[in-house]
Amino acid sequence: MSVLSSEVIAQIDQWIQKYPPEQRRSAVLPGLLMAQEANGGWLSADVITAVADYLNIPPIAAFEVASFYSMYELAPIGKHKISVCTNIACQLAGCQTIIEHLEQRCATQLGATSADGQYTLRSVECMGACIHAPMLEVNKQYHENLTLEKVDALLSQLTNEGASS
Amino acid sequence: MIDIEINGIALKAPLGASIIEVADANGISIPRFCYHKKLSIAANCRMCLVEVDKVGKPLPACATPVTANMKVFTQSPKARDAQRAVMEFLLINHPLDCPICDQGGQCELQDNAMTYGQDFSRFDESKRVVVDKDIGPLIATDLTRCIQCTRCVRFGQEIAGLRELGALGRGEKMSIGTFVEQSLVSEISGNIIDLCPVGALTSKPFRFKARPWELNQHASISPHDCLGTNLYIHTRNGDVMRVVPRDNEAINETWLADRDRYSYTALKSPDRLTQPCIKRNGQWQVTDWTTALATAADNLMAINAQHGSDALAMLASPISTSEEFALFAKIAKHLKVTQFDHRIKTQDQRDQTILGHYLSTDTTIVALEDCQVALIVGSHLAQELPLALTRIRKASLQGAVIHALNPAHYEFNCTLSSNVTCAYEQLVTELASIVKAVLLQRPDRGYDALISSLQLKELTPSAAHLKIAEDLLNPSNERKIILLGQLADHHPDAALLRALCLTLNTVANVRYFFITDGANSTGGAIAQHLQNNISKPYATWVNNAVHAYVLLNLEPDVDCAHSGALVKQLKQAECVIAISAFDSAQLRESATILLPAACFTETSGSFANIEGFQQCFAASVAAPGDSRPGWKILRVLGNLLKIAGFDYVSSDDIAQELQAELAQKPLTAAVATIEPLTALLSLNKKCPTESLTLFSDWAIYRGDNIVRRAMPLQQALSQQACGIYMNSATAKQWPTALTLSTIDDRIADHNAFIPAGFAHSTELQQQLFQSLTIKPTHD
Ligand code: SF4
Ligand code: FES
Ligand code: FES
């Protein structure tokens, strides 16, 4: 079986369509994202190589992209990846307390994964939600105007989801 | 041309040039890190900021095109301020420990900091540290020193065509690295050492061995390939410390192949032969030059007198100098020896009787990058002539149509229109089909005789052949080149391949470029040409029983196409005089007299490159021990053989005589007319067409006695070890008991490849056929 499933290939193909034929490499951002999603949320060297090969670019070029953006994970991550904005607006609005709280509740550090494999905490740059700072993103959902209570509620919701599924 | 002003000096500048280019052309210095004349503009270091009249902000000189009446100030307070500020930022994360950095004394950052920086630092926070990576035996990394100019990355992408390094991470954390930690494979990777403005990428073998200000620089020429790459040899106290490129736009531009850069590491090999030795009663004895040479001369004269000149044979390696070849040929002529040759790696010279000797190309190295169509036949170009490939790559980037025809699917690091893989024994037929396709498309010219010649008669060109023919005949393609590589040159039907190329040359004005061995095959050809072609090609007398051999700079067991046969013949010979810089067990077994010779860094002389361009060089260091320059050894041998006129005092005397002779009788490009071509194409094919064909060629760092002893290159070679390479289907069909077989799916079907130049290559070839469970029809 090839590293990329036919579904992922089909998705990448859709993106390739959006660019001129000689700009096939433009699909590297969405391509890596889709491959990551299909690979349990992280990009292995094999997956990066497969995406690069499919787009006819040198593997190092895809790796540069993967190492540049914070949305790509280069090692296995926890079940829920919580991305907390630490850019200027969120900083002014007190993201630090949110982070400390998250670190304590999830029993891990920013940038790391909890021992039970449930949570990965990430610091990210501005997500364009400054008017409702501070904010975080988890499972493609924005959570804004964060307070410690909101964080608690979110975490118990995530835990429950985990238990019910 | 437009008028501009830099620092108040009125200048003319071509429209579209950048400020930095105009400044460089006029000797005005602007500091820079990311800009390099051979690379694309990145404009990411900002060191080149200058003030431009009527523009508020300072502008990067490398990325700002000049406009009419522009006034540029490179030293105004505003410009100096900007430069100082950039310098301060660059030094924030750069270690300030030049005394322990290998780049110290030749560092662009150090130089610019001296000129443009401050003598104190306001930064007392902690600095970024980057973990070093192991990128192979040739290049050392010290990535904390990287200033992220990306020259190394752009070199890979733009010049080498092999993107191995990348800028990983982002912002302050950005670092240079490979994808998965691996050694660089590019054959020209060492150039990033010269490009890196700081000490982040340095030469591993040279690292911490010497300071640049202790070194003396000597201009020289590389002995390893037919381009004649220009280089500088850096010495200290009589030792070669390193080799760096010397700019020559007509040959190597600013680049150096790794082979040329690192081969110097062999000079200090423990294998160096430093004393003349004679074998007496099976025992080797060290002797003096007088005895050794007198014995050699006596032996030669005695055998000549007793058995005639056919009992003598002389072989020289194509890395010998023109002066050595000249004396070698004169000695041969004096002794009436017809068995002398330098084409030791080839198997087929049947065209010599028809065409004589001619230049290996009727075009130039530079023309490779201007061509519109190139057809590469039988060449692993990246390994044979790495810097010729960078030219072909440039042509390809400009839209040239490149076709390749090879017994394996080799990479060319550029876009090819077709990369045809055919069995080794089919190379002639494939090329002949292309030629026939060309001839058929020109029915008006009366090429019937050619078409009905043996090689073309039965062929029906395929669509692929017709396409190549079309490209070659397309009237808008004026600049067309056919390259024959070493796989073709060493082919048992090389004469036919050449004849086919010359046919294209004659009928379709396709320029030819026949890659030859070593730095000086042309010098060898000139020597033979000047002796009126009296020599017989080595391939024709391989198995003749000979009483005495003279070997110049070669190792019989690994340097010849017929090494197996040669070693056998040497064992039976009475006298084998080996003039060699290196000792080896095999040489001790075969030879009877060993005469220690100088390497290219230790002798003066010249190499004639593929264009026939003679380039002289002087000795950079003294030869070790009692070893002497080859020309001196041959001169004294000539004296002892009582040859008249052998009183050359310097290699220059020989060179002058050679030039005078050459002026009378120049070696010219081949001018083939239809008749000789028809005759050539009617020669019988020799290449065996058994069901499993073996082909062989010298591995990239196994081609001559110097590179074979350059340890860093040998380490870099590890992925290309001696063995048997076949594709998976062939391996299944021809199972062999040998453990040395490796699957390489690039190889054509029913072909097996054994890299030559290794001690076991020849043996392995024989073993392969013995071990096959099914026997091919091979004699
Ligand atoms: S390693 Fe050297 S050449 Fe490469 S980016 Fe860093 S400073 Fe520039
Ligand atoms: S700064 Fe946090 S969302 Fe913009
Ligand atoms: S040299 Fe101009 S920005 Fe680097």
B176-202 pLDDT, tens digit per residue, is: 999 888 889 999 999 999 999 999 999
Residue B125 φ then ψ, to 5°: -75, 180
Q: Over 60: is that where the pLDDT of B775 sits?
A: no
| Cβ–Cβ under 8 Å, residues B272 and B624 | yes
Q: Which residue CA neighbors atom 7 of ligand 1 most closely?
A: B146
Q: Over 60: is that where the pLDDT of B778 sits?
A: no
**What atom of ligand 1 comes closest to residue B195's alpha carbon?**
3
Q: Over 60: is that where the pLDDT of A121 sits?
A: yes
Q: What ligand has the least distance to the C-alpha of A91?
A: 2
Q: How much is the ipTM here?
A: 0.85
Of B165, B169, B170, the CB nearest to A60: B165
pLDDT attached to residue A81: 94
Q: What is the pLDDT of residues B728-758, one digit of tens each?
A: 998 888 777 676 778 899 999 989 999 999 9
Instruction: Tell me how far the alpha carbon of residue B101 lies from the centroid of ligand 1, in angstroms.
Output: 15
pLDDT attached to residue A1: 46
Mean pLDDT of B421-428: 93
H/E segment holding residue B152: helix B151-154
pLDDT attached to residue A163: 61
| CB within 8 Å: A59 and B179 | yes
Q: Which residue of A has its CA nearest to B171?
A: A68
| CB within 8 Å: B163 and A60 | yes
Q: What is the pLDDT of residues A126-147, one digit of tens each?
A: 999 999 999 999 988 999 999 9
Residues from chain A contacting residue B163 (CB–CB below 8 Å): 58, 60-61
Q: Which residues pair with residue B218 across a beta bridge? A: B233
Q: What is the pLDDT of residues B284-312, one digit of tens each?
A: 999 999 999 999 999 999 999 999 999 99
Instruction: Tell me how far the alpha carbon of residue A91 lies from the centroid of ligand 2, in angstroms.
Output: 8
**What atom of ligand 2 comes closest to residue A134's alpha carbon?**
2
pLDDT attached to residue B742: 86
For residue B200, give the 3-state DSSP assignment: coil
| Cβ–Cβ under 8 Å, residues A117 and A78 | yes
pLDDT attached to residue B767: 74
Question: Which amino acid does the sequence have at B557?
Answer: D
Enumerate helices (H) and strands (E) in chain B, giving the number of each.
27, 30
Q: What is the pLDDT of residues A7-54, one digit of tens each?
A: 999 999 999 999 999 899 999 999 999 999 999 999 999 999 999 999
Of A112, A118, A105, the closest CA to residue A148 belongs to: A105
Transcribe B479-501 into DSSP letters: -EEEEE-HHHHTSTTHHHHHHHH
Of A49, A61, A69, the CB nearest to B166: A61
Banded pLDDT at B777 (limits 50, 70, 90): very low
Instruction: Tell me how far the alpha carbon of residue A109 lies from the centroid of ligand 2, in angstroms.
Output: 21
| Cβ–Cβ under 8 Å, residues B529 and B352 | no
Q: Which residue of A has its CA nearest to B413?
A: A58
Q: Is B198 in the pocket of ligand 1 (CB under 6 A)?
A: yes
- A105: which 2 tokens? 């509740």
DSSP 8-state code for residue B147: -
Second CATH level (architecture) for the domain A6-68:
Orthogonal Bundle (1.10)
Mean pLDDT of B608-612: 97
pLDDT attached to residue B776: 47
Please, what is the average pLDDT of chain A? 93
Q: What is the pTM of this model?
A: 0.93
Give the residue, B118 or B534, on which the prediction is more confident. B118
| Cβ–Cβ under 8 Å, residues B375 and B488 | no
pLDDT attached to residue B649: 96
Q: What is the pLDDT of residues B356-389, one digit of tens each?
A: 999 999 999 999 999 999 999 999 999 999 999 9
Domain ranges of chain A: 6-68, 80-164
pLDDT attached to residue B345: 95
| Cβ–Cβ under 8 Å, residues B372 and B480 | yes
Residue B175 φ then ψ, to 5°: -145, 155
DSSP 8-state code for residue A113: B
Mean pLDDT of B129-141: 94
Q: CA A32, CA A49: separation in Å to the nearest integer?
A: 10
Report the percent of chain A where pLDDT is more than 90: 90
Q: Which residues contact B503 (CB under 8 A, 6 or more apart)?
A: B435, B439, B450, B672, B677, B681
CATH class of A80-164: alpha beta
